[in-house]
Amino acid sequence: MKIRHVLHLLLLVSIPHVVASQANLDSLNAIYENEEQHDTTRLSAIGELAKNYLTSTPDSALYFAQIQYDFAAMRNAKKYMAEALVTLGQSSYKRQEYENARTYYSKSNSIWKQLNNTSAYLRVLNYIGESYEKPGDASTSKLFYDSIIPIAIKTKDTARLITGYRALIRVKYYSDEDYEGAIKACDEIINIMRIQEDSVQLGINLYYRGLFTSKNNQNIEAIDYLSKAVEVTRKTKDYVHEINSLHYIGYSFKLQGNFIKASEIFFEALDVCVLNDDKDLEASTLEKIGILFLEQEEFDKALEYHQKCMNLRKELKREELLTISINNIAIVYYKKKEYDKAEQYHRKSLAISQKLGIKHRVAYSNHNIGELKLGMGEYDSALYYFNIALKLKTELKSRTPLALTYNGIGRVYGSIGNYKKAIDYNLRSLQIGRKYNRLDIIRESLESLHSNYEKLGQYKRSLKIYKEYISYRDSTLNEENKNELLMHDLKYNYEKKALADSITAAELLKRKEDRIALEVLQSERMQRQANYLYFILFIVLVLLITLANRFILIRKQKRIIEAQKAEVDEVNFELVEKNNEVLTQAEELHEVNEEIRLMNENLEQLVQSRTKKIQQQNEKLTQYAFSNSHKVRAPLARLMGLIDLWKQDSVTGKEREYVLDKISYSALELDAIVRDITANLSEEDEK
């Protein structure tokens, strides 16, 4: 009964707002249709009517803005033509038709330039930058945001200057992950806002300051700035930045490992969303609660919240954000090991991202499919999708997302046994994690490196990496150990801050139960992690002591064996040398004795043999002398006669040729005789 009364009360409260809103739209339409009204009044009315539809129904906004433009063009009312073009651009932007949006914005700025309206011109430059930024073209958007700053400084337009700075902070520093630069820029804007006593802008920029401080892993300082942002935005009734600030406070607590405090903050943000009936931010908050449940491995609860988020985004037609919700559901199914459903949702998200042409979402989906294939053991497919993601992220210059893909590829190579290649990719991931102080990336990279070095047999490196990994794990566990102390405080604060008239009693009870479930899960998870860590440390210590003792014993035994071997080798060498000496001397004695014996036995025979040899040599000499006097003499005499004949002057040319031939023939004959003599002597020597 109480729930029914609350619902009736909410209905009665909401009816006047709905009626008043519809009455306002009808009134604006009536003013435009009243031809007795002045043209500028009618143009203003139809323009306001179009703007009123921008958030809720962009199609209607596009319709009425076109009517405003056509009417203004008929009256040559350039100011209203420009305003209509801006609304047309904003409607197209809401419909994710970014090219059409830029066309309308450019036409609008041509008119603002003619009218010398610098403030409006700068405002539209910012819109053009957003139309490039949203689909992921950060480099082009920077050019437009950069162009705002000098013009705003020259014209002393503080509002546009801040808009330009904020856009650059969002794109230039955020996309480049230069968080230190973003923090400095935020501090400058905050100082300007304090001087101008602009509480609205101060709250917004305190939020951005906290956001970038959180991204820079300065969690305590981030919580301080974001809490200030919540305080200021509540006073200025800027619930959008209040909720966003609460989101990042919760995110900072989550990074510290304080899931209970994070859940308290996220549920507080959800209450503010419901109070202000902002379904976009409600979906975003539901998503963050779903992620908390997922990290606590409460998969059914995580699925419930992610599905609520997805349904809201479908209802709101937020296709880009819908891809994130679908991916989150796929991740839950993956954790539940329901791989077919996980792949189905990942591919659905990928298809929407490709249709919208949003590169970073396409890269994200491909990375997630790679993770899924890796978990399923389909390593070639995993590598294929990871490489697609890597290529897109490299083109987009996405730093920390690139590190996650590097680590994913490293885990694939580690799974197939290519540990050297795995280590190369793990080190790339670790380098990015350290550069941008991303503790989650550092932990994952160190864990993978430890495993791969160990499998390669590089135990010293593996142990060093493991010690570093444990130090990062310890820093998280130390924060988690504080969670038990926060349990009762969480319950008290939640019950104190819950507004009975904002949501039904049943919803309050359900959320309270969800929070308590998170607390219990967190406590159990802490205990499991601590026990597991102590067990691993104990095993590592035992192994180290065993290995150290074994190593010392082996080294000692090796030294003893080497010394003994050296001594034996030295003695063996000396014995071999002595033995060789004795053998050599024995051989020499034997040869001498044999020679003496032979000489004694054959001395007479030797004398006769040598005498006979001398006689044979004498005979040869006699033969040689005979040959010299008879065989050699004839050709030699002919040669001498022919030479004398050649010298005579009376011998003619032909005769000279004849004499020359004969000289040659006699020389050859003499050469043949000499050769024969030599050959005969050689034969005798051989005998």
Give exposure, 303-320, as e/b (b: 16+ Cβ within 10 Å): bbbbbbbbebbeeeebbe
Q: How far is CA 364 from the centre of its chain?
A: 12
The predicted pLDDT at position 556 comes to 79
DSSP-assigned letter for residue 278: -
Structure tokens at 628: 């010299």
Q: What is the dihedral of CA 457, 463, 469, 472, to 10 degrees?
A: -170
How far is the CA of 234 from the CAs of 276, 319, 394, in angstroms?
Answer: 12, 30, 41
> Among positive and negative, which fits the CA dihedral 563, 568, 571, 574?
negative
Q: Note whether residue 573 is domain-resident.
A: no
The predicted pLDDT at position 506 comes to 53
Structure tokens at 521: 């899960």
What's the pTM value of the predicted model, to 2 decimals?
Answer: 0.53
Find where tokens 């989650």 sit.
Answer: 440
Structure tokens at 594: 């044999």
As a whole number of angstroms, the distance between CA 181 and CA 190 comes to 14
> In 3D, which of 291, 285, 288, 357 has the Cα closest to residue 319?
357
As a whole number of angstroms, the distance between CA 56 and CA 46 comes to 17
Burial of 161: CB neighbours in 10 Å, binned 0-12, 13-18, 19+: buried
The predicted pLDDT at position 15 comes to 36
User: What's the domain range around 660?
Assistant: 622-686
Q: Note whether residue 270 is domain-resident.
A: no
Report the domain count for the chain: 1
Q: Note whether residue 657 is domain-resident.
A: yes
Q: Note whether residue 596 is domain-resident.
A: no
Q: Note whether residue 661 is domain-resident.
A: yes
As a whole number of angstroms, the distance between CA 651 and CA 72 comes to 137
Q: Note whether residue 628 is domain-resident.
A: yes
DSSP-assigned letter for residue 216: T
The predicted pLDDT at position 497 comes to 40
Number of H helices, E strands in the chain: 29, 0
Length of the chain (residues): 687
Taking the chain (687 residues) in runs of 10, the rounded mean pLDDT of each run is: 38 38 66 80 87 84 90 91 93 91 94 93 93 85 87 85 80 70 82 84 88 83 92 93 93 84 92 92 94 89 94 92 94 92 94 90 92 92 93 83 91 92 92 82 88 87 83 54 37 39 49 62 67 77 81 79 76 75 78 73 72 77 69 79 79 79 85 80 65
The predicted pLDDT at position 330 comes to 94
Q: Are 315 and 353 in contact (CB under 8 A)?
A: no
Q: Are 258 and 480 in contact (CB under 8 A)?
A: yes
The predicted pLDDT at position 512 comes to 54
The predicted pLDDT at position 175 comes to 62
pLDDT, mean over the chain:
81
Structure tokens at 230: 């919540």
Q: Note whether residue 671 is domain-resident.
A: yes
In 325-447, beta strands by DSSP E:
none
The predicted pLDDT at position 511 comes to 58
Burial of 137: CB neighbours in 10 Å, binned 0-12, 13-18, 19+: middle
Helix axis angle for 138-155 and 118-133, nearest 10°, is 160
Q: Note whether residue 289 is domain-resident.
A: no
